[in-house]
Amino acid sequence: MTGLRLIAGLGNPGSKYEQTRHNIGAVYVAELAQRAGIRLVGDKAFKGRIGKGRFHGHDVLMLLPDTYMNLSGESVGAVQRFYKLTAAEILVAYDEVAFAPGEVRLKVGGGAGGHNGIRSVISSLGNDQGFVRLRIGVGHPGDKERMIGYLTSDRMPDAERRVVEDALRFDDQVWRYLLDGDQQKAMTLLHAPTGSPDGKGD
């Protein structure tokens, strides 16, 4: 089994985007790094802020690309090539409009699903789609014409942000499974109905 060695959170750089839905992946990974005591430092070669340290007993890199969302792969790909990582050793956290706020799901492989940041990452990895995705639900505006503003201009309401933050406080065992390379156990635990840790329901 292949464990994780790189955790990347996608977003747009600059203070104007900090509170937007499109930045929730970057916000989450920044919090993970702080929790793990991993200091993220800007690195021009990697086009992002990167740090290395121990997370649940494993050596891991954490990355926040400084590129705009649709160029995220320039950063992730640079780190992947330098550290000679396989796609399976990478997890990317990002916003998912197909899920309501408060829904967080793991997925391994698959296409970009209309997400420009994921499309860029896939391209940067030589079209290898085998990386792990942590999809953080932010909801849908109900109208495709409103999507850009909804993701990149509108500030996420406080109540909505609290729902998302609560959902991201999932059992640390999920991360332990991911770092060990047992993605299936991680998905079973994360996706289990509330009160049913074995994922079998009531």
> Using CA atoms, how far apart are residues 137 and 21, in angstroms rounded to an integer?
9
Q: For the residues of 49-91, what is the DSSP string, one character each? A: EEEEEEETTEEEEEEEE-S-GGGHHHHHHHHHHHTT--GGGEE
State the maximum Cα–Cα separation within the chain, in Å, rounded to a whole number.
Answer: 51
> Using CA atoms, how far apart are residues 32 and 147, in angstroms rounded to an integer?
28
Specify whether the CB–CB gap between 56 and 172 falls below 8 A. yes
Return the active site residues.
22
Task: Characterize the bridge pairing of strands 90-96 and 6-9.
Answer: parallel
SS3 state of residue 170 = coil
